[in-house]
Structure 1
Amino acid sequence: MIKKLSLVFISLLAVFLFTGCNSNDEAATVVENNTNFEELKKQSNKTYNLKTTDGRVITLKVENDVLTSEELKGKYVLLNFWATWCPPCIKEMPVFNKMYEKYKDKFELIGILFERDKDAQELAAFMEKHNIKFPITVGEENFRMAKAFDDVNKIPESFLYGKDGRFLKKYVGEVGEKDLENYLSK
Structure 2
Amino acid sequence: MKKSLFLFSIVAVFLFGGCNSEDEAKAVSNNNNASFEKLKALSNKTYNLKTFEGKTLPIKVENDILSSKEYKDKIVLINFWATWCPPCIKEIPVFNELYEKYSDKFVIVGVLFEKDKDPKELEAFIEKYNIKFPITVGDENFRMAKAFNDVRKVPESYLYSKEGKYVKDYIGEVDKEDLENYLKSN
Q: Which of the five TM-score ranges fits, normalised by the shorter chain?
A: 0.7 to 0.9
For the aligned residues, what is the CA RMSD? Answer: 0.8
| Aligned residue type for 2:57 | I
| Number of the residue aligned with 2:163 | 164
TM-score, length-normalised on structure 1? 0.80
Map of 1:59 onto structure 2? 58
Structure 1 window deviating more from structure 2 (95-104 vs 40-49): it is 40-49
- What is the match of residue 73 of structure 1? 72
**Deviations along 1:58-87, whole A, 9 cap, x unmatched?**
111111100000010000000000000000
Counterpart CA distance in 1 for 2:135 and 2:105 is: 18
| Structure 2 spans left out of the alignment, 5+ residues | 1-33
- 1:48 alignment counterpart: 47
Q: Name the larger-Rg structure.
A: 2
Number of positions where the alignment pairs a residue of Structure 1 with one of Structure 2: 152
Report the AA paired with residue 161 of structure 2. Answer: G
Partners of 1:38 and 1:104 lie apart in 2 by 39
> Using the alignment, how far apart are the partners of 1:39 and 1:85 within structure 2?
31
Structure 1's unaligned 5+ residue stretches are: 1-34
Amino acid at match of 2:74: K
The runs of at least 4 consecutive aligned structure 1 residues that moved more than 3 Å come to: none
Distance 2:107 2:67 in 1: 13
- CA drift of 1:36 comes to 2.7
Q: Report the CA distance between 1:43 and its aligned residue.
A: 1.4
